[in-house]
Amino acid sequence: MFVRSFYDSDGDGIGDLRGLTSRLDYINDGNPQSTTSLGANCIWLMPIDKAMSYHGYDVVDYYHVDPHYGTDDDFRNLVAEAHRRGIHIIVDFVPNHSGSQNPWFQSALRDPHSPYRNWYRWSKTLPEQKGPWGQQAWHKSPLRDEYYYGVFWHEMPDLNYKTPAVRGEMRKVLTYWLKEMHADGFRFDAIPYLVEDGERLQHSRGTHDVLRQLGKAIRAAAPESFTVGEMTDEASGVMESYYPDQLDSYFAFGVARATVQAAATGDARGFLKAVARANEKFPPRRWSPFLTNHDQSRVMTVLGDEAKARVAASAMLMLPGMPFLYYGEEIGMLGAKPDEMIRTPMQWDSVANGGFTTGAPWEPLQGDWKTKNVAVQEGDRASLLNHYKTLIHLRNANKALNIGSLALISTDDTTGTIAVWLRTSNDTSFLVVVNFGGHHDPLYMPKLPLRVSDQGYRFESLTYADPAHACTGAFISANMEAQVRSIAAQGVCVLKLRPR
Ligand code: CA
């Protein structure tokens, strides 16, 4: 969630922590019997530390909330109110670089004898070495004839993790947010670039060591905490190197891209390949599916079609691990780059400024807010919002869909549009049938694996179908062959299985 765009409590046009606190019931009202709220049990807040830019990824003070968002006590109150509803709060942690206006960097820049000097990397001359994607990563000091390293840009100088004091300070920051601010964990920003080892500018051994140390410090301070890392590199073997002992989970960018691609093209094969790889290579439940995030064009803009957005959500939310959705995705908010336009204010209702603020919003809303908003979709049982709610509540209510194992099921589908998988926990399995394609299809699964019992399965019930009646004629024979007579275009069916 981008706090700046969720809900403004004081009319200054900027979303804030009090605003978010007042809207927690939308995310989860804490009543397990109720299905009116979204049902999410964790919120990742994009950076709320005092920072230079509107996005917050250039931190000036790691120990205090940015005044635009409120006070440190507003944050503690948010956490207390979230916990009452069973919602955990994890905060963005930006370890790779500080903002250039951070007093640490200012001291290092102004005084070569500063105790903060080696918290950053300096060179008397301009090194020939470029950044990891060939960019200029060494920047001229505005004060003297020297250069400093900043992998993203000159206003974000990289912290130097070879300096023990930097590691110590960051352990202190993390412990502070857990112990004094009561956060439940962290989303680690841009993890591959923490330590530069000679020619190795990403995924270095030093980077893994730092993550290991910081992860250990977090688990020691708060054993129930949760950490998830941003690692966008999909090259083979890279994500594996961040297991088993660094952060708890990582965003599964490969699976995310493949899911959106499958929904866009109707071709399930890339999705099946990406999921098979994640299921095989990464530890169970320690990868996080999603569709698009705050750095990418919104999924509804990419797909441009509600049926496609629905099938993408169906697939994503029936995968294992901790899935993340980006605020507004659940109502199909639009947004294409530049970044400000994929981070526009939440569309709550049809009154002024979509109900986001009584003042002038920091960024104009998307043009469709009057017709596409939470209030409109709450009143429509078939809305995208209610589709998301149903899928999330299904997960919450069924262990197999939440923490169960995953087995991909082979089928006789020759169109390449259908994906089928089994989620199993204890004596319950769910067969998830997804048709990314645009045509009705019959489907035959030659053999379901023996999971639930030696005697095989029977269909107990159709737990969810989208659209309604998406599947007909589901049948499992005594020798475990399964058939679904037809599965609707862009349809999903979740079928509950029991031992025979
Ligand atoms: Ca405000």
pLDDT tens sequence across 194-230 = 999 999 999 999 999 999 999 999 999 999 999 999 9
Of the residues 8, 16, 92, 189, which is catalytic? 189
pLDDT surpassing 90 at residue 82: yes
In contact, 434 and 311? CB cutoff 8 Å: yes
Report the separation in Å between the CA atom of 349 and the middle of ligand 1, taken as the mean of its atom positions: 18
Say which residue the tokens 């169906």 belong to. 314
Given 3.20.20.80, 3.40.50.11720, 3.90.550.10, 3.50.50.60, which CATH number is that of 3-96+164-396?
3.20.20.80
pLDDT band for position 449 (50/70/90)?
A: confident
CATH number of 405-499: 2.60.40.1180
Cα distances (Å, whole numbers) of residue 396 to 65, 242, 276, 382, 434: 32, 28, 24, 20, 20
Any catalytic annotation for residue 73?
no
Structure tokens at 108: 């290092």
Instruction: Average the pLDDT over 153-178 and give the result.
Output: 98
Any catalytic annotation for residue 49?
no
How does pLDDT run across 351-370, given as a tens digit for each residue? Answer: 999 999 999 999 999 999 99
Strand 287-288 with 405-408, pairing: unpaired
Please tell me the predicted confidence (pLDDT) of residue 452.
66
Please tell me the predicted confidence (pLDDT) of residue 442.
78
- β-bridge mates for residue 443, sequence order: 484
How far is residue 345's CA from residue 354's CA, in Å, rounded to a whole number?
A: 8
Neighbours of ion ligand 1 (CB under 5 A): 8, 10, 12, 14, 16
Report the separation in Å between the CA atom of 4 and the middle of ligand 1, taken as the mean of its atom positions: 8
pLDDT surpassing 70 at residue 249: yes
In contact, 425 and 403? CB cutoff 8 Å: yes
In contact, 354 and 346? CB cutoff 8 Å: yes
Please tell me the predicted confidence (pLDDT) of residue 500.
81
Report the separation in Å between the CA atom of 291 and the middle of ligand 1, taken as the mean of its atom positions: 29
Phi-psi region of 328 (alpha: psi -120 to 50; beta: other; left: phi over 0): left
CA 227 to mean position of chain CA atoms: 11
Task: Report the percentage of the chain scoring pLDDT > 90.
Answer: 88
Report the separation in Å between the CA atom of 10 and the middle of ligand 1, taken as the mean of its atom positions: 5
Of the residues 230, 233, 234, 481, which is catalytic? 230
pLDDT band for position 95 (50/70/90)?
A: very high
Strand 249-251 with 226-229, pairing: parallel
CATH superfamily of 103-149: Oligo-1,6-glucosidase; Domain 2 (3.90.400.10)
Report the separation in Å between the CA atom of 362 and the middle of ligand 1, taken as the mean of its atom positions: 10
Structure tokens at 254: 């490969």
Please tell me the predicted confidence (pLDDT) of residue 451.
67
- β-bridge mates for residue 441, sequence order: 487
Please tell me the predicted confidence (pLDDT) of residue 453.
67
Report the separation in Å between the CA atom of 50 and the middle of ligand 1, taken as the mean of its atom positions: 15
Residue 235 is which amino acid? A
How far is residue 230's CA from residue 234's CA, in Å, rounded to a whole number?
A: 12
Task: Report the percentage of the chain scoring pLDDT > 70.
Answer: 99
Instruction: Average the pLDDT over 55-81 and give the result.
Output: 98
Instruction: Average the pLDDT over 292-297 and give the result.
Output: 98
Question: Which one, of 3, 174, 188, 179, lies nearest residue 78 by Cα?
Answer: 3
How does pLDDT run across 369-428, given as a tens digit for each residue? Answer: 999 999 999 999 999 999 999 999 999 999 999 999 999 999 998 889 999 999 999 889
Other Cβ atoms within 10 Å of 23 Cβ, number: 16
pLDDT surpassing 80 at residue 237: yes
Report the separation in Å between the CA atom of 40 and the middle of ligand 1, taken as the mean of its atom positions: 24
Report the separation in Å between the CA atom of 3 and the middle of ligand 1, taken as the mean of its atom positions: 10
Report the separation in Å between the CA atom of 351 and the middle of ligand 1, taken as the mean of its atom positions: 18
How far is residue 429's CA from residue 128's CA, in Å, rounded to a whole number?
A: 57
In contact, 416 and 465? CB cutoff 8 Å: no
Say which residue the tokens 């120990």 belong to. 63
Greatest Cα pair distance in the chain: 80
Please tell me the predicted confidence (pLDDT) of residue 454.
72
Report the separation in Å between the CA atom of 2 and the middle of ligand 1, taken as the mean of its atom positions: 13
Q: What are phi and psi of 267, to 5 degrees?
A: -95, 115
Question: Which one, of 330, 343, 338, 354, lies nearest residue 56 by Cα?
Answer: 343
pLDDT surpassing 80 at residue 441: no
How buried is 426 (Cβ within 10 angstroms: 0-12 exposed, 13-18 middle, 19+ buried)?
Answer: exposed
Q: Let me know how long the chain is.
A: 500
What is the pLDDT of the chain when averaged over all its residues? 95
Instruction: Average the pLDDT over 283-308 and give the result.
Output: 97
* Cβ-Cβ contacts under 8 Å for 284 (sequence gap 6 or more): 320, 405, 406
Question: What are the structural domain ranges in the chain?
Answer: 3-96+164-396, 103-149, 405-499
How far is residue 494's CA from residue 199's CA, in Å, rounded to a whole number?
A: 49
pTM: 0.96
Please tell me the predicted confidence (pLDDT) of residue 344.
98
Strand 471-472 with 122-123, pairing: unpaired
